[in-house]
């Protein structure tokens, strides 16, 4: 399977490398993160497929080098442009860089997914009127100058890891062809078992697919899952395979209090997967397994 190329681009100090650390779950490096020198590459493996993330240093000398080397942008499937929402004086410079990249992409004749991360919208700033104004200003500025590209916009912050996961999940699901049947399967399982929702993830806790009957259930699942993962990582309770499901399920139900969660292990092909369901006491594991096996 040909590796997929994802570019992570923006000005210096926009927060690109910190986003990458969250994605690769390399939290121990957060405090050591320094400005990226040139281009650094990280590989995320999902069900045997590789996504190569190119983290492009944002200093002016590197930006000039990239824009004079079409090979940097060639064969790009996805591009994430990161804007530091707390630096409004840099919006115009960031926009100039962004539009120049779009022109480069047009000249290459490629059509990657384009995503805009309005970054550093930290939890304590989300309801702040000035921050909201800056977010709206940046959003309008970049979308108005999108040159006809369909651009997805996300508010992100490293202090809410699920905001970053949300921004990248759909891209991963689109790039990895083996994930494409999962959404329909999960939707079918939710309907047949009359669940409120379900989430599929792998042994590395990478979110693979999901389906919910409403936004409230989606928010609940993401919040509870990431609180659970954080707590179990701190307690070193995720390392034991045989105890994983038991620890995860018991802890997540303590966190949720009012909802009933089940964690079902699924061995599909050579993949160790887990299905998180919410809304029913008893889930027919054989029916779930058969549904996945018949459609993959």
What's the pLDDT band for 256 if we cut at 50, 70, 90?
A: low
How many CB atoms are closer than 10 A to CB 9?
A: 24
- pLDDT tens figures, 259-277: 788 888 888 777 888 888 8
Do 130 and 240 fall within a single domain? no
Question: Final residue of a domain: which of 114, 149, 175?
Answer: 175
Number of structural domains in the chain: 2
Do 166 and 40 fall within a single domain? yes
Do 70 and 133 fall within a single domain? yes
The residue-averaged pLDDT of 242-246 equals: 72
User: What are the φ and ψ backbone dihedral angles of 66, each rounded to 5 degrees?
Assistant: -60, -45
Question: And the tokens for 237?
Answer: 């309770």
Do 8 and 149 fall within a single domain? yes
Strand, helix or coil for residue 175: helix
What is the overall mean pLDDT for the chain? 84
Task: Look up the domain containing 39 and give its range.
Answer: 4-175
CA distances from 293 to 30, 52, 172, 263, 268 (A): 39, 29, 21, 18, 7
Residue with tokens 């996805």: 78
Do 146 and 123 fall within a single domain? yes
Do 68 and 168 fall within a single domain? yes
What single DSSP character describes residue 240? Answer: -
Which helix (H) or strand (E) segment holds residue 28: the answer is none
Do 204 and 162 fall within a single domain? no
Do 56 and 198 fall within a single domain? no
DSSP per-residue letters across 96-152 = HHHHHHHHHHHHHT---EEEEEEE---GGGTT-HHHHHHHHHHHHHHHHTSTT--EE
Which has the higher per-residue pLDDT, 243 or 128? 128
What's the pLDDT band for 154 if we cut at 50, 70, 90?
A: very high
Do 130 and 210 fall within a single domain? no
- pLDDT tens figures, 165-214: 889 887 887 887 767 778 888 888 888 888 899 988 877 677 888 899 88
How many CB atoms are closer than 10 A to CB 22?
A: 22
The residue-averaged pLDDT of 102-129 equals: 94
Beta bridge partners of 277: 198, 262
Alpha helices in 176-214 (DSSP H): 182-192
Q: Give the per-residue pLDDT at 225.
A: 76
Compute the half-sphere exposure of residue 90: CA atoms within 13 Å on the CB side of its CA: 18
**End-to-end Cα, the chain, rounded Å:** 17
What CATH number is associated with residue 103?
3.40.50.300
User: CA 148, CA 12: separation in Å to the nearest integer?
Assistant: 26
Question: Final residue of a domain: which of 175, 204, 230?
Answer: 175
Question: Final residue of a domain: which of 152, 175, 198?
Answer: 175
Do 147 and 121 fall within a single domain? yes
Do 45 and 148 fall within a single domain? yes
pTM (predicted TM-score): 0.82
The residue-averaged pLDDT of 68-79 equals: 94
CA nearest to 248, candidates 223, 226, 267, 266:
226
Do 55 and 163 fall within a single domain? yes
What CATH number is associated with residue 223?
3.30.450
User: Is residue 246 pLDDT above 80, yes or no?
Assistant: no
- pLDDT tens figures, 13-38: 999 989 988 887 654 444 445 666 67
Pairing of strands 4-10, 113-119: unpaired
How many CB atoms are closer than 10 A to CB 139?
A: 17
Alpha helices in 235-277 (DSSP H): 241-256
């Amino acid at each position: 399977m040909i590796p997929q190329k994802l570019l992570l681009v923006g000005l210096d100090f926009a927060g690109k490398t910190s986003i990458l650390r969250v994605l690769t779950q390399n939290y121990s490096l957060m405090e050591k993160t320094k400005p990226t020198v040139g281009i650094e590459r990280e590989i995320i493996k999902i069900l045997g497929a590789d996504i190569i993330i190119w983290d492009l240093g944002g200093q002016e000398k590197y930006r000039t080098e990239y824009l004079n080397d079409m090979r940097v942008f060639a064969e790009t499937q996805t591009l994430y442009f990161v804007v530091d929402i707390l630096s409004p004086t840099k919006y115009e410079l960031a926009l100039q860089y962004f539009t120049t990249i779009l022109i480069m992409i047009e000249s290459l004749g490629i059509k990657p997914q384009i995503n805009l991360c309005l970054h550093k919208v930290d939890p304590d700033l989300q309801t702040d009127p000035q921050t909201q104004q800056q977010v709206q200003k940046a959003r309008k500025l970049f979308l108005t100058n999108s040159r006809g590209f369909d651009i997805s916009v996300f508010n992100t912050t490293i202090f809410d890891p699920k905001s970053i996961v949300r921004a990248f999940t759909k891209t991963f699901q689109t790039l990895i062809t083996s994930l494409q049947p999962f959404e329909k399967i999960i939707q079918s399982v939710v309907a047949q078992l009359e669940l409120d929702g379900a989430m599929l993830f792998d042994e590395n806790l990478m979110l693979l697919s999901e389906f919910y009957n409403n936004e409230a259930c989606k928010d609940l699942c993401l919040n509870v899952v990431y609180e659970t993962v954080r707590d179990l990582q701190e307690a070193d309770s995720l390392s034991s395979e045989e105890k994983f499901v038991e620890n995860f399920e018991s802890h997540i139900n303590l966190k949720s209090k009012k909802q009933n969660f089940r964690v079902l292990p699924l061995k599909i092909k050579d993949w160790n997967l887990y299905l998180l369901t919410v809304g029913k006491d008893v889930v027919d594991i054989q029916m779930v397994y058969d549904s996945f096996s018949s459609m993959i």
